[in-house]
């Protein structure tokens, strides 16, 4: 029998593409039987980000691993969507004929078609070809639980009532404390717009999957994973098998020895005392207006703490990604001079993983994207979440209320996620101080650092789950129907 292939279908964003690719590499390394990986590449609409993906593909092709990249033709995106969940779901749906043709054209057995978080519209192509379909979430088990729970949640609340208007104000997600409606992902904020329906659509179709693959660690979210397994998120109906295989974190091989190879931010950290620096970084899309940047600057100034702050500016006209920060425009007069002995403001991209790994970093103010959360847990760095969109408010809630690995900060969601200087000052002092709350957070983060590393070792929870996934994929491999 020919070697079966696992077909990966990530969405175009670099934060989805790279973790999905990493899953493929782990499957190759772990499977007892030979496998290959076929990656269907949807063109990235943004030219800058497209070049990043092209470079990743070039690097992977140079490794000689059994990974093949199949580039799908560009499809014009929908222009009338009401949110990211609808945009991704409908845009990916337009690729369905191309995905079906690519999979049908394979001459080897297909072990599974693995789609991204809001890409269940592609299940139709897999079903028509008679091949197994899986979904991979670069998100938490808590997010998976909410997606699975959302169709029933919709039925339990009258259609003309927003979740924030429900008596008691808490949303029931099994395995979690009551979730404030203000912390729900953007897709559930407004029940009157179509993106809400697409959130439910994807949650409903997860039940068709041959398996749900999660980038999480069983020890980090045990109660939520138990609730999914027990059918409490799906009204007693068994959910598909869940494979917790995280943390899936791609690490760049160490640069050649020599001071010149070390990033300037890392070299600056070398001169700081252990655990003394608070690191502020907000993901690939995080950027601030001058008024908000001024609030951050005043808060950091008054906190008296050492800091490394990645400050990006708003996108240039006609672009979607943040521009390099113009510090003269974004910062208050005299701030850089006053804080030059204890702070560094970096106006462009920074090597987040290397910074979090540095002994000088003692806290992380983060947008709360799941990749960043896992990197922080892997390196044992406590967090203050500052959510900016998507599911980040929900992540912030679970980090504080369920996992206990973060210090809460007041973020005014209805004011474009505004944080006042005094609130940032309070949160930074709490994070970097020695109060009882942060001592408990540090203890929990230290526990999670050990759990993350043990999970991916031989016999660890994620390692065993990855083996189960490999076995299921190999067992289910079939030739696509023609």
Catalytic residue annotation = 16, 116
Nearest CA-CA partner of 12 in 61, 60, 72? 72
Question: Each residue of 136-156: b (16+ CB within 10 Å) or e?
Answer: bbbbbbbbbbbbbbbbbbbee
Residue 81 makes CB contacts below 8 A (sequence gap 6+) with 87, 90, 194, 195
The H-or-E segment that residue 304 falls in is none
Pairing of strands 242-244, 306-310: unpaired
Distance CA 391, CA 83 (A): 12
Nearest CA-CA partner of 24 in 211, 206, 248, 210? 248
Number of helices (H) and strands (E) in the chain: give both, helices first.
18, 16
DSSP codes joined into one string, 26-86: HHHHH-SS--EEEEEEPPPSSHHHHHHHHHHHHHHHHTT-SEEEEEPPP-PPPS--SSHHH
Nearest CA-CA partner of 429 in 263, 300, 254, 266? 300
Residue 439 makes CB contacts below 8 A (sequence gap 6+) with none
- Which residue in this structure is represented by tokens 């009204």? 235
Secondary structure (3-state) at 356: helix
- Residue 243, strand partner residues: 213
Please give the order of strands across the beta sheet that includes 306-310: 343-346, 306-310, 277-281, 361-366, 383-385
Specify whether the backbone of 304 is left (phi greater than 0), alpha (psi in -120 to 50) or beta. left
Nearest CA-CA partner of 225 in 208, 239, 235, 237? 239
Q: What is the dihedral of CA 445, 447, 449, 450, to 10 degrees?
A: 170
Contact 401, 381 (CB under 8 A): no
Distance, first Cα to last Cα, the chain = 18
Q: In this structure, how many other beta carbons lie within 10 angstroms of the beta carbon of residue 183?
A: 21
Pairing of strands 110-115, 5-9: parallel
Distance CA 19, CA 16 (A): 6
């Amino acid at each position: 029998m020919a070697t079966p292939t696992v077909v990966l279908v990530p969405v175009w964003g670099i934060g989805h593409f790279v973790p999905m690719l990493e899953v493929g590499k782990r499957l190759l390394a772990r499977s007892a039987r030979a496998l290959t990986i076929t990656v269907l590449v949807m063109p990235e609409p943004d030219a800058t980000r497209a070049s990043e993906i092209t470079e990743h593909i070039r690097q992977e092709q140079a490794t000689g691993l059994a990974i093949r990249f199949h580039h799908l033709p560009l499809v014009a995106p929908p222009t009338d969507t009401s949110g990211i969940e609808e945009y991704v779901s409908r845009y990916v749906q337009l690729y369905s004929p191309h995905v079906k043709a690519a999979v049908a054209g394979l001459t080897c057995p297909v072990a599974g078609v693995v789609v991204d978080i809001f890409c269940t519209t592609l299940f139709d192509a897999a079903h028509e070809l008679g091949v197994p379909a899986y979904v991979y979430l670069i998100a938490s088990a808590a997010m998976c639980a909410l997606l699975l729970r959302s169709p029933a949640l919709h039925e339990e609340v009258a259609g003309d009532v927003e979740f924030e208007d429900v008596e008691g104000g808490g949303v029931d997600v099994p395995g979690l404390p009551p979730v404030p409606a203000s912390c729900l992902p953007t897709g559930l904020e407004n029940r009157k717009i179509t993106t809400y329906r697409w959130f439910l659509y994807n949650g409903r179709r997860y039940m068709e999957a041959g398996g749900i693959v999660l980038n999480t660690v069983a020890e980090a979210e045990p109660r939520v994973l138990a609730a999914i397994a027990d059918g409490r998120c799906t009204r007693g109906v068994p959910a598909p098998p869940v494979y917790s295989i995280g943390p899936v974190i791609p690490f760049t091989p160490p640069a050649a020895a020599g001071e010149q190879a070390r990033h300037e931010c890392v070299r600056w950290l070398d001169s700081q005392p252990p655990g003394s620096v608070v690191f502020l970084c907000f993901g690939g899309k995080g950027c601030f207006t001058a008024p908000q940047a001024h609030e951050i600057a005043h808060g950091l100034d008054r906190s008296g703490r050492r800091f490394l702050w990645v400050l990006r500016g708003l996108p240039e006209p006609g672009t979607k990604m943040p521009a390099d920060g113009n510090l003269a425009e974004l910062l208050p007069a005299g701030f850089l001079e006053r804080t030059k002995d204890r702070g560094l403001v970096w106006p462009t991209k920074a090597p987040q993983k290397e910074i979090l790994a540095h002994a000088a970093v003692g806290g992380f103010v983060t947008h709360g994207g799941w990749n960043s959360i896992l990197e922080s847990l892997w390196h044992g760095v406590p967090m203050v979440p500052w959510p900016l969109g998507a599911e980040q408010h929900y992540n912030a809630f679970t980090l504080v209320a369920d996992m206990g690995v973060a210090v809460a900060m007041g973020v005014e969601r209805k004011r474009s996620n505004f944080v006042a200087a005094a609130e940032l000052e309070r949160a930074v002092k709490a994070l970097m101080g020695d109060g009882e709350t942060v001592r408990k957070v540090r203890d929990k983060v230290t526990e999670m650092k050990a759990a993350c590393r043990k999970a991916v070792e031989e016999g660890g929870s994620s390692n065993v789950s990855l083996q189960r996934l490999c076995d299921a994929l190999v067992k289910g491999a079939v030739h696509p129907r023609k």
